[in-house]
Amino acid sequence: MSIKFDPIIFRRGLSTIVFATALLFGVANLSLYAQQPQSIAPSPVFLAIETKTGVQRFVVEIADEQEEREVGLMFRENLPPDQGMLFDFGTDRLVTMWMRNTPLSLDMVFIDRSGTVVRVAENTTPFSTDIISSREPVRYVLELNSGVASGNGIRSGDKVRHPLLTKNLSSN
């Protein structure tokens, strides 16, 4: 029996190997991508919080899809003090958060559907899996750098203004 070299079969085999290798590296890179900080486009409109000391303004990223809420600010190593992330849970409910894979200490501002701050959890512990609860039904959570809430006088009872809150309140 003699084995004859067939260039067509050789090319098909080679292209299969190249494709499989590219696919393997693509999946590996996708896995790495999923573990990197994800940036959600900041809202072009400021979020304003009316406090006793005045109106505080922040540029926020909106996390209103399940995948965006699951990642949140995980893996972020810095966040400017005038920026944050606003989570919209779509309905009023008891909300629980954690700090898994989050190297930043954060302040979490829990906000009901009318835009009223109901609780502020300050100085959360980076990388912690401890549960941080809203303690009562809320629709939104605003995450800010640790110390920003107290530094700006943000407290329970303050009012939050943003087009997303206004739109959702009028549609309910």
How many CB atoms sit inside 10 A of residue 92's CB?
16
Identify the CA nearest to 155 among candidates 70, 52, 72, 37.
52
Q: Which residues of the chain have pLDDT under 50?
A: 23, 27-34
8-52: per-residue pLDDT in tens? 665 666 555 655 555 455 544 444 444 555 555 555 568 999 999
**Do residues 4 and 83 both lie within one domain?**
no
Cα 50 from Cα 57, distance rounded (Å)? 9
Angle at 74 between CA 66 and CA 69, to 5 degrees: 15
**Do residues 16 and 92 both lie within one domain?**
no
Number of domains in the chain: 2
Cα 18 from Cα 50, distance rounded (Å)? 59
Cα 138 from Cα 161, distance rounded (Å)? 15
Asked if residue 41 is part of any domain, the answer here is no
